[in-house]
Amino acid sequence: MYKYDGLVIYQHHDDEGVIEVVEQKGIRSLHFGSSSRQSSIAVNDPESLQLPYTRAMTSWLLFKDAVDDVLMVGLGGGSLVRHLLYYFPHCRLRAIEYRASVAKVARSHFGLPLDSRLKVIIEDGAHYVRQQSQTLEKQYSLIMVDAFDVDGLAPAIATLAFFDACKNLLKSDGLLVVNLWATDATIFSACVQWLNQVFDHKLLLLPVRNRGNIVAVAFNKANSAYNLKELKGRAVELEQRYQIEFPKLLKDFIKHNPYTLQTVISK
């Protein structure tokens, strides 16, 4: 069966809806009953990041050399988890996925590895983060939030309490990276307001070119100001190392944050 301009190689229904895996010209993608791709991999190069928004979510590398403990809220096909496992051999990852069926597909069709550094937990991500923040603090150097359903950003994620709990779980120099959905203006504006409130306006927004996603990068209090000249040189080095368009990402950070850039980047 063909759908979304590709061959459907897997289809399943769980309590949350449909899960489909579609392959087209060597690119395998995860769909939740719509044409929007939740995750994609190149079958012959699975560690590369195919979707523009996933590459934008690696923009944290402009500001941090490496990570040790990472929390991923929303697993999907696992492309971001695979990327971290592949390039950072010393990092430890905890991925929270609401749908057990999605985690199974990440293993069976997207090659999510069985790795002692990775623990996948089936639970509501927002509930997990809030619960953990009550007993733990300064646990993670990086938290990445990519929790979507067929309608957009999961409602439980878009709350002040969730972002506040994320901050409690971050180390003093930690970063929070959130994939936001800009097409719902009310929810998007509220999330930006809450992130600014929680992180004392140390927030940069990165619109994904020609997409509805905007990636938010929030900096915890111990992050110092970054030098723009040094960041430009770093972006070139990162592009060569990871084959990701870091100079363009940095250019877009500068373009779309004219009033808040100075809270993070010094000239």
Active site residue 149: no
Answer whether residue 87 is part of any domain.
yes
Answer whether residue 3 is part of any domain.
no
Answer whether residue 88 is part of any domain.
yes
| Pairwise pLDDT comparison (106 vs 181), residue with the higher score | 106
**pLDDT digits over 79-97, tens only?**
999 999 999 999 999 999 9
Work out the average pLDDT over 99-123: 97
Averaged confidence pLDDT in the chain: 93
Answer whether residue 40 is part of any domain.
no
Structure tokens at 237: 């080095």
Q: What residues does 121 pair with on adjacent strands? A: 96
- CATH code (residue 155): 3.40.50.150
Answer whether residue 240 is part of any domain.
yes
Residue 241: which H helix or E strand, with range? helix 228-242
pLDDT range class, residue 36, cuts 50, 70, 90: confident
Q: Are 129 and 178 in contact (CB under 8 A)?
A: no
Answer whether residue 30 is part of any domain.
no
Answer whether residue 152 is part of any domain.
yes
Q: How far is CA 179 from the centre of its chain?
A: 6
How far CA 207 is from CA of 14, 251, 253, in Å, comes to 32, 11, 8
pLDDT range class, residue 262, cuts 50, 70, 90: confident
Q: What is the pLDDT of residue 150?
A: 62
Q: What is the pLDDT of residue 7?
A: 95
Place of tokens 């603090």: 137
Q: What is the pLDDT of residue 260?
A: 87
**pLDDT digits over 197-250, tens only?**
999 999 999 999 988 889 999 999 877 778 999 999 999 999 999 999 999 999
pLDDT over threshold 80, residue 148: no
Residue 118: which domain range? 45-266
pLDDT over threshold 70, residue 55: yes
Q: Are 256 and 218 in contact (CB under 8 A)?
A: no
SS (H, E, C) 82-112: HHHHHHCCCCEEEEEECCHHHHHHHHHCCCC
Q: Active site residue: 69, 115, 124, 146, which one?
A: 146
If one counts the domains in the chain, the total is 1
Answer whether residue 71 is part of any domain.
yes
Q: What's the whole-model pTM score?
A: 0.95
Q: What is the pLDDT of residue 221?
A: 85
Q: What is the pLDDT of residue 245?
A: 98
Q: What is the pLDDT of residue 183?
A: 66
